[in-house]
Amino acid sequence: MTSEGFNVDPHVKVLDESVVQRARERGLDALVYAPHFTRLSEIRARAERFSDDDLRVYPARELFTGTWQRRRHVLAVGLEEQVPDFLTLDGTMAELRRQEAAVLVPHPGFLSVSLGISELETYRNTIDAIETYNTKFLPHHTRRAERFARETDLPTFASSYAHRTGSIGEVHVSFDRSFDDAEAFAAALRDGEPRRIVHRDGVSHTGRRMLEFAHLGYENSWEKFDRVMLQGTAPTHPDHVAYDGQFDDVKVY
């Protein structure tokens, strides 16, 4: 923790030695690691592998709700049990409430993958914060997310949303105290603990944002979904044996 606070990037997709090195160089104290289509046990193991006293890595899940064509993303921190993708939005939110996870809304209103104002209002009492800035956002996305935050009076956060190592450290949220683990961080989010959003500026920052935005073409492709979800039973598919039919009543596939 620096004199400027405890600096957390609340949403990254990549984690290896180069990510850790860059995070340290950029003054980060913690990362929230939430890769796509990966079970919680595997995320936890990788987060633990790259955590130490200088940089903590909190495991999390960015859950895909609904069908691929009409999916809505929800970021859950502090999960105790695994939750699959492609449940109904209502089913996902009910499970997150049951587990008392911190519920974050990444990139609200963004393209066709996000919660809009109607969903934010519907689940206002379940949601703990909405994202108002990340490296994939263009200026009008930021303005819309900020408007959603004002209209719902929800706390805010920002993240690198890094799918590339170079984006690590471009955005973070600063708190006045440190958090030893994901559960403590989730509790702070649920309690609406004060925070400060920080992001870099300038030509280099703009360039890194454009590279992240360009990554969307692959990230949102049907080919990716077909490969990871429909060709066999993927680890986060609700039909996977690991879930033992627990979510059959709220699955969409």
As averages over each run of 10 residues, the pLDDT of the chain (253 residues) reads 86 98 97 95 98 97 92 96 96 98 95 90 98 94 97 98 95 98 98 97 87 70 54 80 94 92
Domains in the chain, please, with CATH? 6-243 (3.20.20.140)
User: If you count DSSP H runs as helices and E runs as strands, how many of each does the chain have, helices first?
Assistant: 9, 9
DSSP 163: S
CA-CA-CA-CA dihedral for 185, 131, 175, 59, to nearest 10: 30
Q: Say how far apart CA 23 and CA 68 lie, in whole Å.
A: 32
CB 31 within 8 A of CB 58: yes
Q: Which tokens sit at 174? A: 């600063």
Over the Cα atoms of the chain, what is R_g?
A: 17
CB 158 within 8 A of CB 200: no
The model's pTM:
0.93
pLDDT value, residue 111: 75
Q: Which tokens sit at 208? A: 């890194």
**Closest by Cα among 205, 192, 196 to 137:** 205
